[in-house]
Structure 1
């Protein structure tokens, strides 16, 4: 603490004038510098909250990762050129703070809705989690940008050092699934669930929601078409009414009945197949086009229906969902 000293008359021997003025000037300069530092700015020599590293990614189907953002972990005694982080060095309220930026360029001739999946990788190339993003209504020649967060990671997750595009799906914007919380002009919304797989049996649920203001009627089976990478119909695949030729354990696979959905009500159906490979060429459909009934507006889904060499897929009839 600076103490005030009693006033004494100055003499040439006890207080040299020029050195005192110099000391006062230095003190004022130091105080002024401390008072003008910007609020929230990191102190000199301290690390920033995160580090963004550009990535030279060749990409896939018009999508590529452009950078990786990693939160700064505890200081390392041996700095390295490659940024990495492991979850047990961080305390971010459950979120790892890791994200990857991407860009998607539509080089086609029609407006598309893209779903891109990024995978975060460790130094040895292992997958350490991922995330998915959707970019709607990307016009021909347009480039859009966004980011995907890794979210919460287990404390034992190895150090993440990179990210890559693992999957890209592009559907015509007019046939894209409705955005969450929106209702198409038709007044009905068609969607799928994540599906279930066991012992080679695959089951994917279809959901039909009446989000409009009028009753909606269906009777029988959804109308299904399997498509290849170019979104062209796949030939030589039998679309079966019912799933009994594939399995007998599917709930709701009974005779079709008329279903009337009032506003707010829903119905479900199932796509059923087996992923068995024997003689012949395996078939995988990257896309499925679904209509709630004949003449209804189509909705295209990136489903990756891996039929193996079975050549058939069963569809169960619509059944009203119990409320």
Structure 2
């Protein structure tokens, strides 16, 4: 259960490069590291205007839309400029709009390991066959999240030095109840021992610690409708085996200021390297988060 609509990459994004004659090619998944200006940069205004909100959506945090790509009004080049002091991995949400300015769908793209002072350029292009009420016309930036590159979550690819892939799913939501799953896979060459609950540190938009939230051992106090979790057990994951946990909360609001937690630093066990995920916790004013124990995945 999750408050944010899923951003389905395969439904609305296709990997593209700029057409020949438009200068340097820029890949979708990673982009080109460069400090120069693009050789083809139309005005960004036309690419981002929503027609409904009065804002362009062409620039947000470190990400800027650079306008339609050469040869297609639907291709949009964008750049990520890391103005910070550490290497970051960015996840960028885009809204795909029709001619009337209505959101047809959402897409998400990751640009990995952008160094301090570095600029990375890439191109997105909506799939014109995607459903959603009209032809795709424009793209705007809807959300930007950035985590330290060394703490970026992973589900596949090269095995990190920690020996595990760790990530959060997109969750589910109903009647104010939210649940997000954590998944850990042993991608190393030896056994990985695990027990208890994952360790969590809650972080705000600026990735500074959030205080005042009670961490509950288990999720039963959040909702009686959730499956009771067994007592924490020690386990050994052989290479390729996985375990899972869950985070549960309610977004009920009452007196006081609602608490929103976009980032969570997760440690699989004491002493393990942290992984920063973005479950977008909208905790309302409840001040509670249920944390399930690790359970070995059987299927």
Secondary structure, counterpart of 2:60 in structure 1:
coil
Mapped contact 1:131–1:149 kept (Cα < 8 A):
no
Cα distance, 1:294–1:155 mapped onto 2, change above 3 Å: closer
Unaligned runs of 5+ in 2: 1-40, 49-57
Give the structure 2 partner of residue 43 of structure 1. Answer: none
Note the 1:92-131 alignment, pairs <5 A.
98-131=74-107
1:55 maps to which of 44, 68, 93: 44
Secondary structure, counterpart of 1:174 in structure 2:
helix
Give the structure 2 partner of residue 242 of structure 1. Answer: 218
CA deviation after TM superposition for structure 1 residue 295, in Å: 1.0
Matched residues, number? 249
Mapped contact 1:130–1:150 kept (Cα < 8 A):
no
Which structure has more helix as a fraction of its residues? 1
CA deviation after TM superposition for structure 1 residue 220, in Å: 0.6
Mapped contact 2:168–2:278 kept (Cα < 8 A):
no
Greater Cα shift, 297-306 or 63-72: 63-72
How far apart, CA to CA, are the structure 2 residues paired with 1:199 and 1:253? 21
CA deviation after TM superposition for structure 1 residue 176, in Å: 0.9
Describe the superposition over 1:201-229 as per-residue Cα deviations: whole angstroms up to 9, x where unpaired: 10000001001011111111000111011
Unaligned runs of 5+ in 1: 1-51, 73-82, 84-97
How far apart, CA to CA, are the structure 2 residues paired with 1:70 and 1:140? 29
Mapped contact 1:115–1:132 kept (Cα < 8 A):
yes
Note the 1:1-323 alignment, pairs <5 A.
54-56=43-45, 58-69=58-69, 98-151=74-127, 153-154=129-130, 157-178=133-154, 180-251=156-227, 253-323=229-299
**Runs in 1 of length 4+ with deviation above 6 angstroms?**
none
RMSD of aligned alpha carbons: 2.2
How far apart, CA to CA, are the structure 1 residues paired with 2:140 and 2:190? 45
Secondary structure, counterpart of 1:267 in structure 2:
strand
Give the structure 1 partner of residue 9 of structure 2. Answer: none
CA deviation after TM superposition for structure 1 residue 155, in Å: 5.6
Cα distance, 1:201–1:143 mapped onto 2, change above 3 Å: same
Secondary structure, counterpart of 2:123 in structure 1:
strand
In our comparison, the structure showing a higher alpha carbon Rg is: 1
How far apart, CA to CA, are the structure 2 residues paired with 1:70 and 1:278? 51
How far apart, CA to CA, are the structure 1 residues paired with 2:129 and 2:286? 38
- Per the normalisation by structure 1, the TM-score is 0.72
Q: Which has the higher contact order (CA 8 A, sep 6+)?
A: 2
Mapped contact 1:228–1:234 kept (Cα < 8 A):
yes
Describe the superposition over 1:86-144 as per-residue Cα deviations: whole angstroms up to 9, x where unpaired: xxxxxxxxxxxx44221111111111111111112233321122321111111111110
CA deviation after TM superposition for structure 1 residue 70, in Å: 9.5
Mapped contact 1:252–1:317 kept (Cα < 8 A):
no
